Copies of this chain bind each other. A is one copy, B any other.
Amino acid sequence: MRYPVEHKEQTHQRIVRAASRRLRGRGSEGVPIAGLMRELRLTHGGFYRHFSNKEQLYAEALADGFEEVGAMLVRAAEQAPKGHELQAIIDTYLSEGHCGQASDGCPFAALVSEIGRQPRAVRTAFESALRAHTRRIGRFLPGASEEERERTFSLLFSGMAGTLGLARATSDPATRRRILEGAREMYLKAFS
């Protein structure tokens, strides 16, 4: 079959989006190519018309995930009253919604402990996607220079990602809420 010119690019994006969600929701072992393609009503063979291998898919899926969560945080910050941007970001990141919906959330939180064990190509892609993400969010963080804001970003987001990991591992909902609430308070105080 011959498809319209935009068709391939659309399919490519659909695969990346679906992979990004699965990657964040189920982890790096939770994205089998056949299952992914079936979800999109395609067959696994076609995958290799779009990506040379799975690592390339992961690289693009990571960037996509960071863009999505970045947009979410920027929106929260821009809608917050003047001077409360940081609080809005922290509250959004450590919300029960973000905790419960890992597949739509931050790839860093979803994969903190796995990234270091990924193949080099994936780690490199992660690092550059994170760098882009840092630039997008950095302007809402305290700090005189860009370098200082980047360090603040690292500390704040790595801490919050760990907390999300703990909250997601906690089975009791009340305990989970208490963890999130305590963390929101602590990080706001520590970074204001």
* Chain A residues proximal to chain B, CB less than 8 Å: 26-27, 29-30, 102, 108-117, 123-124, 126-127, 151, 154-155, 157-163, 165-171, 178-179, 182-183, 186, 189-190
A-B contact pairs, 9 of them (CB 8 A): A110-B113, A112-B112, A112-B165, A115-B165, A155-B163, A158-B165, A160-B162, A162-B165, A189-B190
If A123-B169, A158-B165, A160-B162 touch, whether A114 touches B27 (CB-CB below 8 Å) is yes
Chain B residues with Cβ below 8 Å from A155 are 163, 179, 182-183, 186
**Chain B nearest Cβ from A1, distance in angstroms:** 38
A161 touching B165, Cβ below 8 Å:
yes
Chain B residues with Cβ below 8 Å from A190 are 186, 189-190
A151 touching B170, Cβ below 8 Å:
no
B170 touching A127, Cβ below 8 Å:
yes
A113 touching B165, Cβ below 8 Å:
yes
**Chain B nearest Cβ from A160, distance in angstroms:** 7
Chain B residues with Cβ below 8 Å from A27 are 113-114, 117
Task: Compute how far the CA of A154 lies from the CA of B178 in the bound complex, rounded to whole angstroms.
Answer: 10
A158 touching B171, Cβ below 8 Å:
no
B127 touching A162, Cβ below 8 Å:
no
Chain B residues with Cβ below 8 Å from A113 are 27, 109-114, 161, 165
